[in-house]
C-alpha cells in the first residue's frame, strides 16, 4: 500500500509518499507561496537529487496537480503511474467534538469539516481545499482525514471547560480542544514501547516544543489535559504566538492599538511570542546566539519559555498524581540540548535527573535521564506523517475486506 500524505496550509502544501510495506518514505516535498509571487515546489524522491521547481501556482488544485506530476516525472519522480497511489491521508486541524478518531472522507464528512471551519477559520479551509483537489484529480482513490484535535477528545470536562457562561459551550462549542494530537499520540505510544510497559500503566508528559508548542498529560494512554485550547494560540509562549495571557488584555490592546478582531488575532499569532519579547527572532538558534552575545531580551524570551514548560510539567504531574516519563519532541525538543537541560533543572523533587552526557544528542530516540532518575526523560523524534499514513492504511485496508 502506497499512501500520499498531504498537509495543506493556507499558502503551502507539505507531502510525503509512504510505502506501508516497511513504513518508508519514498518521496517528499513542499509547495510554498500558493497564490503569491515566487511560488515553488521543492521535491525529493529518496535516492535522487532534490529538485526546485518554480512556477505560478494559483491555488491548491494546481499545487496538488504539480505534486502529482512531480511524483510520476521520469527523471526525478518516484512512481511510474499515479494508479500506484492506494490512498490519501490528510492532516485536518479541527475535528471538534465530532471526531475522536480518523475517518474515511465522504460528502457528509466534508460538510462537517466545512462547518467546523467556524472554529478554525485559518486552518480547516486550506485542509478542505486539499481534500477537494485530491478528489478532483484522483476521484477513485479513498481519502482519510486525521485530526489534530482527535487524540485530546478523551479530556474530561473539568479540563476542557472554560469559566465562561455554559451557553458559550453549548451553543458555540467554545471549550479547550488541544492540537498537535497526532504528535502527542505518536510519541506517548513510542515512549511506552521504549519503556517496555503497556501505555495503560504509564503517566507521561509529552512536550511538543517547536515553532508551535504544546504539552499534554497522557494518563494510561489517553490525553487528559493539554496546553493549547480552543485555538492553537493558547498555552506556552511560542515562536510568534503569545500563549496564555490575561484575557482582559485583549480589549485593552484592541482599543489602544485600534485593532479590529482579525487584526488583533493576527497580532497575537504572528507578532508576539519569543519574537515579540526578544525583538530578535522566532527561531531558538538565533535567540541563543543573541543571548550568548549579551542580548538580555533574547535571554528573557528563552528563560520565559523554559519557565513556562516547567510550570506545565509541575501542573500535569499534579493532575496525574505523579509522572513516569517526560518526552521531548519537535524542533526545539529534539534539537535544543540547552533548553532541555534548563527545563529539567530543579525538577529533582519530582524524581527527574537528567544525564548531561546522554542529553548531548539531537534527533534520535533515546533516554536522556540518568539510570537513577525515577522519572524517565526521553527524546523521541515525532512523526505526524507516519501517524496519518498508519491511520489511512488501517481504514483503507478495512475497506478492501468489506
Ligand atoms: P518545528 O516547528 O517543530 O519544525 O520546530 C522549528 C523550530 O525548532 C525552529 O524555529 C527552531 O526554533 C527550533 N530548532 C531547530 N533546530 C534547532 C537547534 N539545533 N537548536 C535549537 N533550536 C532548534
Residue 166 lies in a domain: no
* 242 and 109 inside one domain: no
Give the model confidence (pLDDT) of 349-375 as tens digits.
Answer: 999 999 999 999 999 999 999 999 999
Q: Which ligand 1 atom sits nearest the alpha carbon of residue 287? A: 12
Ligand 1 contact via 289 beta carbon (within 6 Å): no
Distance separating alpha carbons of residues 20 and 14, to the nearest angstrom: 19
Ligand 1 center to residue 284 CA distance, Å? 6
Give the model confidence (pLDDT) of 217-275 as tens digits.
Answer: 999 999 999 999 999 999 999 999 999 999 999 999 999 999 999 999 999 999 999 99
Ligand 1 center to residue 260 CA distance, Å? 32
* 114 and 240 inside one domain: no
Residue 55 lies in a domain: yes
Residue 252 lies in a domain: yes
Instruction: Mention every residue, 6+ apart, whose C-beta is less than 8 A from residue 83.
Output: none
* 141 and 206 inside one domain: no
pTM (two decimals): 0.96
Ligand 1 contact via 331 beta carbon (within 6 Å): yes
Q: Which ligand 1 atom sits nearest the alpha carbon of residue 286? A: 12
Ligand 1 contact via 5 beta carbon (within 6 Å): no
Ligand 1 contact via 278 beta carbon (within 6 Å): no
Give the rounded distance of the alpha carbon of 322 from its chain centre: 25
Residue 182 lies in a domain: no
Residue-number span of the structural domain to which 327 is assigned? 197-384
Residue 285 lies in a domain: yes
For the chain, the average pLDDT equals 96
In this structure, which residue's CA is closest to atom 15 in ligand 1? 331
Total number of domains constituting the chain: 2
Instruction: Exactly one of 49, 62, 86, 148 is catalytic; name it.
Output: 148
According to the model, what pLDDT value does residue 129 have? 94
* 226 and 355 inside one domain: yes
List the CATH number of the domain containing 375: 3.30.420.40
Q: Which ligand 1 atom sits nearest the alpha carbon of residue 288? A: 21
Residue 401: pLDDT band with limits 50, 70, 90: low
* 210 and 115 inside one domain: no
* 119 and 239 inside one domain: no
Instruction: Mention every residue, 6+ apart, whose C-beta is less than 8 A from residue 296.
Output: none
Q: Are 31 and 12 in contact (CB under 8 A)?
A: yes
Ligand 1 contact via 363 beta carbon (within 6 Å): no
| Nearest residue to 31 (alpha-carbon basis) of 50, 6, 14 | 14
Instruction: Mention every residue, 6+ apart, whose C-beta is less than 8 A from residue 195.
Output: 202, 324, 325, 376
Residue 331 lies in a domain: yes
Q: DSSP string covering 137-157, please?
A: HSTTS-EEEEESSGGGGG--H
Is 106 known to be catalytic? no
Ligand 1 center to residue 132 CA distance, Å? 32
* 240 and 357 inside one domain: yes
Q: DSSP string covering 159-206, please?
A: HH--SS-HHHHHHH--S---S-HHHHHHHHHHHHHHTTS-GGG-EEEE
* 78 and 10 inside one domain: yes
Residue 399: pLDDT band with limits 50, 70, 90: confident
Q: Is the pLDDT of residue 402 over 80?
A: no
* 336 and 217 inside one domain: yes
Q: Is the pLDDT of residue 2 over 90?
A: yes
In this structure, which residue's CA is closest to atom 19 in ligand 1? 335
Residue 159 lies in a domain: no
Give the model confidence (pLDDT) of 102-157 as tens digits.
Answer: 999 999 999 999 999 988 888 899 999 999 999 999 999 999 999 999 999 999 99
* 103 and 236 inside one domain: no
Ligand 1 contact via 283 beta carbon (within 6 Å): yes
User: Under DSSP, is residue 112 helix (H, G, I), strand (E, B) or coil?
Assistant: helix
Ligand 1 contact via 96 beta carbon (within 6 Å): no
Ligand 1: residue of 210, 331, 361 to mutate (most ligand atoms within 8 A of CB) is 331
Residue 339 lies in a domain: yes
* 218 and 339 inside one domain: yes
* 103 and 205 inside one domain: no
Give the model confidence (pLDDT) of 60-113 as tens digits.
Answer: 999 999 999 999 999 999 999 999 999 999 999 999 999 999 999 999 999 999
Amino acid at each position: 500500500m502506497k499512501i500520499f500524505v498531504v498537509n495543506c496550509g493556507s499558502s503551502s502544501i507539505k507531502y510525503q509518499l509512504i510505502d506501508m510495506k516497511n513504513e518508508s518514505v519514498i518521496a517528499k516535498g513542499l509547495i510554498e507561496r500558493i497564490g503569491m509571487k515566487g511560488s515553488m515546489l521543492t521535491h525529493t524522491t529518496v535516492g535522487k537529487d532534490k529538485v526546485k521547481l518554480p512556477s505560478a501556482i494559483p491555488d491548491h488544485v494546481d499545487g496538488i496537480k504539480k505534486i502529482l506530476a512531480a511524483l510520476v516525472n521520469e527523471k526525478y519522480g518516484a512512481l511510474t503511474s499515479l494508479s500506484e497511489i492506494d490512498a490519501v491521508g490528510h492532516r485536518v486541524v479541527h475535528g471538534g467534538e465530532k471526531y475522536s478518531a480518523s475517518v474515511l472522507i465522504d460528502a457528509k464528512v466534508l460538510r462537517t469539516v466545512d462547518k467546523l471551519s467556524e472554529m478554525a477559520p485559518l486552518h480547516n479551509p486550506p485542509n478542505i481545499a486539499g481534500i477537494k483537489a485530491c478528489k478532483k484529480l484522483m476521484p477513485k482513490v479513498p481519502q482519510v482525514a486525521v485530526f489534530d484535535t482527535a487524540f485530546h477528545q478523551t479530556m474530561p470536562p473539568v479540563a476542557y471547560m472554560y469559566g465562561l457562561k455554559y451557553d458559550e459551550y453549548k451553543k458555540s462549542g467554545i471549550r479547550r480542544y488541544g492540537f498537535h494530537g497526532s504528535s502527542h499520540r505518536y510519541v506517548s505510544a513510542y515512549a511506552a514501547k521504549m519503556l517496555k510497559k503497556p501505555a495503560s500503566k504509564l503517566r507521561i508528559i509529552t512536550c511538543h516544543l517547536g515553532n508551535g508548542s504544546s504539552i499534554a498529560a497522557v494518563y494510561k494512554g489517553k490525553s487528559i489535559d493539554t496546553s493549547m485550547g480552543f485555538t492553537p494560540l493558547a498555552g506556552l509562549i511560542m515562536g510568534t504566538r503569545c500563549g496564555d495571557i490575561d484575557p482582559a488584555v485583549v480589549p485593552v490592546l484592541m482599543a489602544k492599538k485600534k485593532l479590529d478582531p482579525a487584526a488583533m488575532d493576527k497580532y497575537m499569532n504572528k507578532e508576539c511570542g519569543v519574537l515579540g519579547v526578544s525583538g530578535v527572532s522566532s527561531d531558538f538558534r538565533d535567540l541563543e546566539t543573541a543571548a550568548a552575545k549579551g542580548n538580555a531580551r533574547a535571554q528573557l524570551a528563552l528563560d520565559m519559555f523554559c519557565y513556562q514548560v516547567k510550570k506545565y510539567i509541575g501542573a500535569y504531574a499534579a493532575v496525574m498524581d505523579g509522572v513516569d516519563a517526560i518526552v521531548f519532541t519537535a524542533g526545539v525538543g529534539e534539537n535544543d540540548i540547552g533548553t532541555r537541560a534548563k527545563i529539567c533543572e530543579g525538577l529533582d523533587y519530582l524524581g527527574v535527573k537528567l544525564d548531561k552526557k546522554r542529553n548531548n544528542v539531537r534527533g534520535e530516540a533515546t533516554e536522556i535521564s540518568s539510570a537513577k532518575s525515577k522519572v524517565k526523560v526521553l527524546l523521541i523524534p515525532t512523526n505526524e506523517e507516519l501517524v496519518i499514513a498508519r491511520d489511512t492504511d488501517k481504514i483503507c485496508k478495512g475497506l478492501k475486506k468489506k
